[in-house]
């Protein structure tokens, strides 16, 4: 399936959720996005790259006559650093890796995707843009169901977005 077909079927599915069903407890079509932002740390003392991973439901919105799948979805960050632990005798006892940003519900990614594969993204903490930096947009390319591109979100990152189509029982 090419990119245009994949995006069209994703938006068609989202429209089913917007309409609802005709039974007492309608099945509601939901579009979930899985997003990664991979930022390579190109430096000699590199211990790990920073990767933001987010997954969550998107809503279908219309803005200026254009349909957009959008949402703020919870994110996790794997940024770690290493502390070397010397012994009192001068021998190296090894190292300890620790997470600089432990997982919490305060980190999110703002995500908007239109039918042409234009993606707008931003990093949020407690619902606010990190560093006051506005969202940034890029035209994604599509391969094997993944929308991919390079974007500057507080540093150059490779961004991938994929969709899964689910069903929730409404009430």
Asked if the structure places residue 20 within a domain, the reply is no
Residue 116 is predicted with a pLDDT of: 93
Q: Is the pLDDT of residue 132 over 90?
A: no
For residue 56, count CB atoms less than 10 angstroms from its CB and return exposed for 0-12, middle for 13-18, buried for 19 or more.
middle
Task: Provide mean pLDDT across the span 133-160.
Answer: 88
User: What is the mean predicted confidence (pLDDT) over 115-128?
Assistant: 92
Per-residue model confidence as pLDDT tens digits over 27-69: 567 899 999 988 876 666 656 677 889 999 999 988 788 899 9
pLDDT above 70 covers what percent of the chain? 70
Report if residue 29 sits inside a domain.
yes
Number of domains in the chain: 1
pLDDT tops 70 at residue 25: no
Residue 89: pLDDT above 90?
no
Alpha-carbon separation of residue 6 from 27, 59, 76 (angstroms): 22, 17, 26
Q: Give the range with max mean pLDDT: 19-23, 47-51, 156-160.
A: 156-160
Q: Per-residue pLDDT for 7 more than 50?
A: yes
For 163, list phi and psi in degrees, rounded to 5.
Answer: -120, 145
Q: Is residue 106 part of a domain?
A: yes
Structure tokens at 33: 């996005």
Range of the domain at 104: 3-15+25-169
Q: Is residue 158 part of a domain?
A: yes
**C-alpha to C-alpha distance for 3 and 135, rounded to whole angstroms:** 23
Better-predicted residue by pLDDT, 103 or 70:
70
């Amino acid at each position: 399936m090419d990119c245009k077909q994949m995006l069209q079927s994703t938006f068609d599915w989202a429209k089913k959720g917007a309409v609802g069903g005709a039974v007492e407890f309608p099945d509601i079509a939901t579009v979930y996005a899985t997003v990664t932002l991979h930022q390579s740390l190109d430096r000699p003392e590199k211990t790990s790259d920073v990767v933001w991973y987010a997954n969550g439901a998107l809503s279908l919105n219309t803005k200026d006559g254009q349909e957009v799948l959008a949402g703020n979805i919870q994110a996790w960050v794997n940024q770690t650093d290493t502390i070397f632990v010397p012994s009192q005798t001068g021998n190296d006892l090894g190292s300890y890796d620790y997470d600089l940003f432990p997982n919490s519900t305060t980190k999110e990614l703002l995500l908007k995707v239109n039918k042409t594969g234009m993606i707008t993204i931003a990093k949020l903490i407690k619902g606010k843009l990190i560093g006051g930096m506005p969202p940034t947009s890029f035209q994604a390319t599509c391969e094997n169901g993944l929308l991919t591109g390079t974007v500057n979100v507080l540093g150059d990152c490779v961004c991938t977005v994929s969709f899964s189509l689910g069903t929730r029982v409404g009430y």
